[in-house]
Amino acid sequence: MKVCIYYGGRGLIDDPTLYVINRMQEVLQELHVVVERFNLHELKNSITTLPQTLKEADGIILATTVEWFGIGGYMQQFLDACWLYGDKEKIAQIYMCPVVMSTTYGEREGKLSLSNAWEILGGLPCSGICGYIADTTVFEGNEDYYKIIEKKTENLYRTINQKMPSLPASNQAVKKMVSITPNIDLTPQETEQLSRYASDDSYVRRQKEDIQELTSLFRDMMGSSEPEEGGEEEYVKEFQSHFTPQPGFKAIYKIQIEGKRKPFVIEVNGPESKCYYGNVSFCDVEIQISKETMDDIIFARMTFQRAFMGGAMKMKGDFKVLRTLDQIYAFMEKTIL
């Protein structure tokens, strides 16, 4: 017989759950049970592969500590991995004993959560252990507490050894009707391989980079087949012809116009102005604007400041620098003249 212990606490020295599972492990080993323990806080980067360890287990102990609310993130991650990657046929044959100690409130709710989760997975729950332990020193020299743990462990051994049946639970019926894992048509071996890939951070990061590269490639291919309206010379001559230098003023504007692949960049350096479509690593003001609003500004029906105040344009950066844009490119004033 083999029993696996999955500990979902943080591994603190004064964690009461550690005391309980240490005593349970001693009792099981005295009964000649093979015990393997997994500390989830030490295996947090490979939790998605742990459902593979259930294959040789006849029973398991899910142990966690309620420190403020609920069963904790590590245990929840393990249960998620069992739902996504676990062998449901094997889980249906495994007995589970929940162990939940609390240093605050909610040990009974935590124990019930573990039992419900295991039943929804299709497994067989056993009577567990829960309690409120504010200070682990209460265990020292307390034979009554040790006997409770010993009896619960013996009951777990007896349940597994005799393969005691259990009555059907309603959450298993609900699982059959609505909580069905999407069928991805993978063999158990492929599912194991997928779980290993999901726990490999470098593999996941590399896949994301490849997807971004392919997305960018296809976007460029699609963009090259459909030329932009107006091309890369649109608005350049209009801005250059309406340039009114401001002594000592320097700024870089990046204007993203809807329908344009590249932003429209304006670089002002005193008496010089440069306008082009491209990218810059730094800008004083970044603007998002529609082509219609840009045309209104060019034809003196609108200013950049009024467009921003009216919600027709979005901007990030220094508002004073934005106001100066209407002064150095005075479309409205030159049109009136």
pLDDT in tens, 214-247: 776 776 665 554 445 556 688 888 898 888 888 8
Q: What pLDDT score was predicted for residue 336? A: 45
> Can you give the pTM of this predicted structure?
0.56
Question: 286 with 183, same domain?
Answer: no
DSSP per-residue string spanning 61-101: EEEEEESSSSS-HHHHHHHHHHHHHS-HHHHTT-EEEEEEE
| Type of residue at 253 | Y
* 273 pLDDT above the threshold of 80: yes
Would you give the DSSP letter of residue 242? T
Burial class (CB in 10 A: 0-12, 13-18, 19+), 281: exposed
Q: What pLDDT score was predicted for residue 205? A: 73
Bigger pLDDT: 187 vs 270: 270
Question: 251 with 295, same domain?
Answer: yes
* 334 pLDDT above the threshold of 90: no
The encoded tokens of residue 320 equal: 């004073």
Residue 244 is part of a domain; what is its CATH number?
3.30.1050.10
* 27 pLDDT above the threshold of 90: yes
d(CA 317, CA 329): 18
Q: What pLDDT score was predicted for residue 230? A: 56
d(CA 86, CA 192): 8
**Averaged pLDDT for residues 63-92:** 92
Q: What pLDDT score was predicted for residue 29? A: 95
Between 50-64, 203-217, 268-282, the lowest mean confidence (pLDDT) is in 203-217
Contacts of residue 11, defined as CB under 8 A and 6 or more positions apart, other chains included, come to 18, 39, 41, 42
3-state secondary structure of 112: helix
**Averaged pLDDT for residues 66-92:** 92
Q: What pLDDT score was predicted for residue 139? A: 87
d(CA 164, CA 171): 20
Indicate the pLDDT class of residue 176, thresholds 50, 70 and 90: low
Own/partner pairs for 166-171, CB < 8 Å, 24+ apart?
166/124, 166/125, 169/119, 171/116, 171/119, 171/120
The encoded tokens of residue 52 equal: 């593979």
Q: What pLDDT score was predicted for residue 194? A: 63
* 186 pLDDT above the threshold of 90: no
Q: Does 206 reside within a domain?
A: no
Which residue matches tokens 């009707």?
177
Max intra-chain CA distance, the chain? 100
**Averaged pLDDT for residues 176-194:** 56
Question: 110 with 194, same domain?
Answer: yes
Percent of the chain with pLDDT over 90: 48
Residue 58 has a CB neighbour count (10 Å cut-off) of 17
Question: 193 with 295, same domain?
Answer: no
Residue 330 belongs to what domain range? 231-336
Q: What pLDDT score was predicted for residue 172? A: 64
The encoded tokens of residue 263 equal: 């932003």
* 195 pLDDT above the threshold of 80: no
* 74 pLDDT above the threshold of 60: yes
Nearest C-alpha neighbor of 2 from the set 71, 90, 82: 90
Question: 14 with 121, same domain?
Answer: yes
Question: 146 with 286, same domain?
Answer: no
CB-CB contact of 68 with 106 (8 Å): no
Q: Does 217 reside within a domain?
A: no
pLDDT tens, position by position, 259-271: 888 899 999 998 8
Residue 46 is part of a domain; what is its CATH number?
3.40.50.360
Indicate the pLDDT class of residue 71, thresholds 50, 70 and 90: very high
Instruction: Give me the chain's average pLDDT, please.
Output: 85
* 34 pLDDT above the threshold of 90: yes
d(CA 265, CA 260): 12
Would you give the DSSP letter of residue 52? G
> Where does a domain end: 198, 221, 253?
198
Indicate the pLDDT class of residue 199, thresholds 50, 70 and 90: low
The encoded tokens of residue 193 equal: 């391989």
**Number of domains the chain is built from:** 2
Q: Does 218 reside within a domain?
A: no
**Averaged pLDDT for residues 102-128:** 92
Contacts of residue 71, defined as CB under 8 A and 6 or more positions apart, other chains included, come to 8, 64, 100, 110, 113, 114
d(CA 293, CA 313): 8
Q: Does 210 reside within a domain?
A: no
Q: What pLDDT score was predicted for residue 225? A: 46
Q: Does 42 reside within a domain?
A: yes
Nearest C-alpha neighbor of 127 from the set 150, 102, 156, 147: 156
The distance of Cα 318 from the centroid of its chain, to the nearest Å, equals 34
Q: Are strands 250-257 and 285-289 parallel, antiparallel or unpaired?
A: parallel
d(CA 69, CA 179): 25
Question: 67 with 143, same domain?
Answer: yes
